[in-house]
A and B are shown apart, each in its own frame.
Chain A
C-alpha cells in the first residue's frame, strides 16, 4: 500500500483529501504545517506528499526546498495542492522540485490522474 502525507493547515481540506486518498487505497498521514511535515518525513518517508502553499510556522515552499536540500531529490514525490493558481506560482513550485500541481478546487478524478502521472497510483 502506498503512503501519502497530507500537509495542510485546514482540517476540512485534510479530511476531504484523506477520504479521496483512502478510496484510492493510500495509507494516509497528516501534518498541519511544513515543520510538522519535515518531522514526519524524517520519521518515515512517504511515497508522496500532498502539499498546501500557505501555512503557519513553515510554508509549503519552505518545506519543499528544505526537503530537496536534504538529499531527497526524487523521493518523495511532491504534489502541490493549493489556491495559488497563477503561472508564476506554478513555475516557482516546479523549479523548487515539485512533481505535480493541483489547483483547488479539485475532484477525485483530477487527483487520481495527477498521482498516476507521478507514478504512485
Chain B
C-alpha cells in the first residue's frame, strides 16, 4: 500500500484536529501499518478509498476509528522502571508524611493508554498494605482514545502484554487467568478509575492531584499545544504536587509554571503560588 503525500497530510490533519497530536514527517511511515487492520476489517481496498470516504463524510464514525488507529498506544508495566523506583523510594513516602492528616492521595496518569501505568501505580500501594492502611487512594487514568480507555478499565491483558515489564512473581500475585487472558485482581482494580480526556482540555475532576504522570505524550504535540498542555497539567496539581514526565522530556523552554525539583530529580513542581492565578488558560 502506497501512502501518498496528500493522503498522509489528510490523515495527519485529522489526527491533529481531533487530538492535538502531530504526525510529523518522520512518523508518517506508521500510517500504513496503523490503518492496515482497519482497512481489512471494513473491506476498504486502498488508502485512497479510505480518504475518499473520510472526505465525503459518508461514515462519520470511521474518522474516530482512523484516529484511534493512528494513536501510538505503546506501553508496558513499570515502563522505564526508574520513575517507579523514584515514586516508591521518595515521592510517596514524602506524601505519606505530608498527607498524614487527611490520609488521601490523588494521582493522575495522563495519556494512560491501555492502563499498564495505572496498574503499576496501584501495585506500589498494594505491595505496601501496612503503610497505606486506612488511606483513600484515587488513581485516575485518562486517554484521548475511548478504545484504550475501555481496555484499561477492563484490567484485562493478553499473555504477551501481561508479562511486558512484570516479574513473574509479581504477575501471578496481581493477575489471575481469565478467558481473555490475565485480569488484574480486585485489590489492584479498586483504587483505579479511567475516563476519556484530552490533555488540551481543562483537567479532570477533582483536580488538586498530588502526583501527575504525563510520560511520552507531550512529544507528539506541537510546541504551541505543548505549552497549553503544560498549563493544564500545572493547573491540575495540588500546590505541593509533583509532575513526572517521560525520559528525555523537560519543561525547559516550554512553560514557566513548572520547574525541576532540585531535591528529587525527575519530578517537576509549581514555580509560583498556584492560588495567585487559577484562571483557565486560553485555548490556542
Contacts and interface: CB of A to CB of B under 8 A. Distances in A.
Interface of A: 85-87, 90-91, 94, 100-103, 105-107, 109-110, 113-114, 116-117
Contacts of A86: 177
Given A87-B177, A109-B76, A101 B165 contact: no
Interface residues of B, number: 12
Nearest to B159: A103
Contact of B169 (A94, A107, A109, A116): A94
Contacts of A101: 163, 168
A105 B160 contact: yes
Contacts of A103: 159-160, 163
A107 B160 CA distance: 9
Given A86-B177, A87-B177, A106 B168 contact: no
- Centre residue among B76, B165, B167 by max chain A CB count within 10 A: B167
Given A86-B177, A87-B177, A103-B159, A109 B164 contact: yes
B172 interface: yes
Given A106-B160, A106-B163, A109-B76, A100 B177 contact: no
A113 B164 contact: yes
Contacts of B163: 101-103, 106, 110, 114
A114 B171 CA distance: 12
Which 10 A-B pairs rank lowest in CB-CB distance, beginning with the nearest? A101-B168, A117-B167, A110-B164, A103-B159, A100-B168, A113-B165, A103-B163, A110-B163, A90-B172, A85-B159
Contacts of A117: 167
Nearest to B176: A87
Contacts of B172: 87, 90-91
B156 to A, nearest CB: 16
Nearest to A118: B167
A63 B37 CA distance: 43
Contacts of B164: 107, 109-110, 113
A91 B173 CA distance: 11
B159 A94 contact: no
A117 B159 CA distance: 19
Contacts of B177: 86-87
Contacts of A114: 163, 167
B146 to A, nearest CB: 26
- Centre residue among A85, A102, A106, A110 by max chain B CB count within 10 A: A110
Nearest to A85: B159
- Centre residue among A94, A103, A116 by max chain B CB count within 10 A: A103
Nearest to A102: B163
Contacts of A100: 167-168
Contacts of A85: 159
Contacts of A102: 163
Contacts of A105: 160
- Centre residue among B164, B168, B177 by max chain A CB count within 10 A: B168
Interface string B99-129: 0000000000000000000000000000000
A103 B172 CA distance: 13
Interface in B147-196: 159-160, 163-165, 167-169, 172, 177
